[in-house]
Amino acid sequence: MSYDVAIIGAGPAGASAALFTAKAGKKTLVIDSDQSITKRAWVENHYGVAEITGPDLVEIGKKQAAKFGAELVQGKVVAVTKEGEGFRLETENGSYEAKHVVLATGLNAELAQQIGVNTKPGTEPRIKTVVDATPEGKTNVPGIWAAGTAAGVSVHTIITAGDGAKVAINLISELNGERYVDHDVLKA
């Protein structure tokens, strides 16, 4: 496989998942269509952040993921197909292969439905359909995970970022074959 993990979407859930998977040494690709709802947000409810624009929050998240080695690609994923022990992701500009896929597509569940991932009615205002995922982020298709608003988690950016981190930790644990913990310590 070209990548251990391909993450579709670079909003709070996707970039957070990418930050964790890349930091854990997993070859990570993030494909982003630049349509995150967070790009229209003004955020004053993040722990540790006084205030920030949505576009700045998204850009910082992408930079953090890239800092740890995630590769970011601009584009829209139009198809995901099972191929060997992983998946082929087709975009308008090319194709990529990954062992695991994380759907962090925000308000859009169309791709999930197209590739055979089970969906269910959403519970947030204006979100009609979400991915039916376990609390760990797994879907009915082995190797395809879902995080954030796409998985039915609240649209609040701090919550979706936390969900992306949670899904990434579970995915890394599966790849490693044992529970993974990411805990940095201040250096004296």
d(CA 113, CA 43) in angstroms, rounded, equals 31
Quick one: three-class SS letters along 28-65?
EEEEECCCCHHHHCEECCCCCCCCEEHHHHHHHHHHHH
d(CA 100, CA 102) in angstroms, rounded, equals 7
- Find tokens 């201040």 and name the residue: 186
Task: Give the pTM.
Answer: 0.92
Scored b (16 or more CB within 10 A) or e, 50-70 reads eebebeebbeebbebbbebeb
Helices (H), the chain: 12-23, 54-67, 110-114, 157-176
Percent of all residues in the chain with a pLDDT value above 90, rounded to a whole number: 72
Could you report the per-residue pLDDT of 46-93, keeping only the tens digit for each? Answer: 788 888 888 888 899 999 999 999 999 999 999 999 999 999 999 998
CA 102 remoteness from chain centre: 5
* Angle of CA points 6, 11, 14, to nearest 5°: 30
Sign of CA dihedral 53, 57, 62, 67: positive
d(CA 122, CA 115) in angstroms, rounded, equals 19
H/E element holding 82? strand 77-83
Enumerate the β-bridge partners of residue 159: none
Could you report the per-residue pLDDT of 110-151, keeping only the tens digit for each? Answer: 999 999 999 999 988 888 999 999 999 999 999 999 999 999
Average pLDDT over residues 151-170: 89
